A = this chain, B = another copy of it.
Amino acid sequence: MTEAAPTRTRRSDATRAAILQAARERFAADGYDRATIRAIAADARIDPSMVMRYYGSKEGLFAAAAEFDLRLPELTAVPPDQLGERLVRHFVDRWENDETMVALLRTAATNPAAAERMRGIFADQLAAAVARAVPDPETAPRRAGLVASQMLGLALTRYVLRLPPIVDTDPAELVAWVAPTVQRYLRGTPDA
């Protein structure tokens, strides 16, 4: 039997963590198909069969590695006219410091399960937060969708496609340009 109370630390936890980190890096750099278990295992300096033992399958590994929390701030606490800037700044910060989102984005382009997870993150985290920061709740899903289109487009062009003008622009300037867009998507109307 296993232990009693609060889950003893196993010696393999270090290995598990190393695998997970290597997996995130490889998935972010290469996407699901091109990131091989052998390469991930080599990065983590363990045998490929260890990945199977601890995560069951490549899909299981990805599911574990693609856990992602946007860590959105509570939007009801933000002055309504600063929602756009706050949100955009938060996203950019988050992406610059955690490659999980890029891994997810790269993979979601070809992997249905990853796309489904993206839709889940959108619905459970972004749309949910937006719903509490919007004038008319009826319009919340569409507003959240528009915000997602701009934010994911920014992530795509900056981290995946690497369009030079977007890569070369520093985060503060990006925020300055994009914040008004998100602000209008959240609180404005199509024609204003």
Contact = CB atoms under 8 A, between A and B. Distances in A.
Interface string A89-129: 00000000000000001101110000100110010000100
* Range, interface on chain A: 35 or more
A31 B150 contact: no
Given A115-B162, A152-B161, A164-B141, A146 B178 contact: yes
A131 to B, nearest CB: 12
| Chief secondary structure at chain A's binding surface | helix
Nearest to A181: B181
A173 to B, nearest CB: 8
The residue in A109, A154, A169 that gathers the most chain B C-beta atoms within 10 A of its C-beta is: A109
Interface of A: 30-34, 105-106, 108-110, 115, 118-119, 122, 127, 141-142, 144-146, 148-154, 156-158, 160-166, 169, 173, 176-178, 180-181, 184-185, 190-192
Given A144-B165, A148-B166, A152-B153, 20 more contacts: A30-B110, A32-B110, A33-B34, A105-B109, A141-B165, A142-B165, A142-B169, A145-B157, A145-B164, A149-B153, A149-B157, A149-B158, A149-B166, A150-B181, A152-B161, A156-B156, A176-B190, A177-B185, A181-B181, A181-B184
